[in-house]
């Protein structure tokens, strides 16, 4: 059985092309490898979605798939039985490399010379950006260079020279549909002469070769909000690829990667930092200066503090993207022993051992 491409994209079999494209863009953004680094399952899903879209977005491939390759309860003509009336002599097993629209075109004796003229939204654009730790905390505004599809300046995105004009397709008489009778079966499909547009375009624009769109390097100003982290996605509306036939542009999505900081460690909106303290500070208590993203701050170390104990500084973390406010900073103290090669230190520590008592874990003699 073939894969059910409609189920993979998440649309009904009768879905129109704009609906298929909309569903594809939503899934592509969700599973794109750039937005899911290291996720093998997302990468496999993205490839499956691309495979399905490559078929369903192409009218020729989709026509062949609907007639001969659907993985539901529809049997394949010519597979396990006699060919449908009027199709004797056709080798349906070879349609994996061609399409039903190719057959339709061959029956009409021509190939498509046009394309649909319905405006469509442009594809979204993905851009990976690496920023520093402080920029992620505080946000930044910068300019990036992106290569995107833009309307051709020569033909204003039409794809053909305005001087050559358009004419009604003589084969379909402007309907965009053509029919062929084969035995007892009658089929309809896009008119192979005009590509379903109902009109024949004039001479193709030499600058865009009839596509209406050209590649262009653009400098775009983007604002990265404060508090982004690894994997954050920033949407810049209307800065994706331009839409075919004058359709609206897609969006630009920026995938953020943040370089690690030598002092702070991110845990969502919270920050973690390790601070050394001496034996006297831990034993007697002290006020210790600690780093924060806002500058040095002082915390009180109570007497008898143990190594690894954590203290919270409220609202000293990173800004929260999903709601107002900031996270907290957690300070973990690490006990640093005095230098063991100093005779005076050894003398004092020996005296301390006598006063404090023997180590309960040491072996008694």
- d(Cα 83, Cα 89) in Å, to the nearest integer? 8
Q: Which residues contact 265 (CB under 8 A, 6 or more apart)?
A: 271, 272, 273
What is the model's pLDDT at position 359?
57
What is the model's pLDDT at position 187?
64
- The answer to whether the CB of 137 falls within 8 A of the CB of 226 is yes
- d(Cα 252, Cα 224) in Å, to the nearest integer? 13
Own/partner pairs, 46-53, CB within 8 angstroms, 24+ separation: 48/3, 48/8, 49/8, 49/9, 49/24, 51/3, 51/5, 51/8, 52/3, 52/5, 52/6, 52/8, 52/9, 53/9, 53/20, 53/24, 53/28
Q: Which residues contact 240 (CB under 8 A, 6 or more apart)?
A: 122, 123, 124, 125, 148, 249, 250, 251, 252
Domains of the chain: 1-77 (1.10.287.110), 265-356 (2.60.260.20)
Q: Which residues contact 168 (CB under 8 A, 6 or more apart)?
A: 174, 198, 199, 200
Percent of the chain scored above 70 by pLDDT?
75
What is the model's pLDDT at position 344?
85
Q: Give, in order, the Cα–Cα distances in Å from 221 to each of 124, 144, 218, 239, 321.
A: 17, 7, 10, 10, 20
pLDDT level of residue 78 (50, 70, 90 thresholds) = very low
Structure tokens at 82: 């006699």
List, for residues 145-174, the tens digit of each pLDDT value. 999 998 888 777 777 765 655 667 777 876
What is the model's pLDDT at position 299?
95
pTM, two decimal places:
0.56
- The answer to whether the CB of 92 falls within 8 A of the CB of 64 is no
Instruction: Tell me the mean pLDDT in the region 84-103.
Output: 42
- d(Cα 335, Cα 305) in Å, to the nearest integer? 9
Asked which of 119-123, 241-245, 349-353 is least confident by mean pLDDT, the reply is 349-353
Of the CA atoms within 13 Å of residue 203, those in its CB half-sphere come to: 8
Pick from 73, 77, 51: nearest CA to 64: 77
- d(Cα 317, Cα 330) in Å, to the nearest integer? 9
């Amino acid at each position: 059985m073939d894969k059910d491409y409609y189920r993979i994209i998440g649309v009904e079999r009768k879905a129109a092309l704009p609906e298929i494209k909309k569903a594809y863009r939503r899934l592509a953004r969700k599973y794109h490898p750039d937005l899911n680094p290291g996720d093998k399952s997302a990468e496999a899903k993205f490839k499956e979605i691309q495979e399905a879209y490559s078929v369903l977005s192409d009218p020729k491939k989709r026509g062949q798939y609907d007639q001969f390759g659907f993985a539901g309860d529809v049997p394949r003509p010519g597979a396990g039985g006699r060919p449908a009336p009027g199709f004797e002599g056709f080798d349906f097993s070879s349609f994996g490399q061609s399409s039903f629209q190719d057959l339709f075109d061959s029956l009409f004796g021509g190939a498509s010379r046009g394309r649909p003229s319905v405006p469509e939204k442009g594809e979204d654009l993905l851009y990976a950006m690496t920023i520093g730790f402080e920029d992620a905390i505080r946000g930044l505004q910068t300019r990036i260079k992106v290569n995107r599809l833009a309307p051709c300046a020569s033909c204003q995105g039409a794809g053909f020279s305005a001087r050559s004009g358009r004419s009604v397709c003589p084969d379909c008489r402007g309907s965009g549909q053509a029919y062929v009778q084969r035995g007892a079966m009658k089929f309809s499909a896009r008119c192979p002469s005009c590509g379903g547009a109902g009109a024949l375009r004039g001479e193709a624009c030499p600058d865009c070769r009839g596509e209406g769109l050209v590649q262009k390097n653009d400098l775009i100003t983007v604002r990265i909000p404060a508090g982004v982290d690894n994997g954050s996605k920033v949407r810049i509306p209307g800065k994706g690829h331009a839409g075919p036939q004058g359709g609206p542009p897609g969006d630009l999505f920026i995938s953020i990667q943040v370089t690690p900081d030598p002092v702070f460690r991110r845990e969502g909106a919270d920050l973690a930092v390790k601070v050394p303290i001496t034996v006297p500070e831990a034993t007697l208590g002290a006020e210790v200066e600690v780093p924060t993203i806002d500058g040095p701050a002082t915390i009180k170390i109570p007497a008898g503090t143990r190594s690894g104990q954590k203290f919270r500084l409220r609202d000293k973390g990173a800004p929260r993207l999903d709601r107002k406010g900031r996270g907290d900073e957690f300070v973990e103290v690490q006990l640093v022993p005095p230098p063991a090669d100093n005779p005076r230190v050894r003398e004092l520590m020996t005296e301390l051992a006598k006063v404090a008592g023997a180590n309960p874990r040491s072996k008694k003699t």
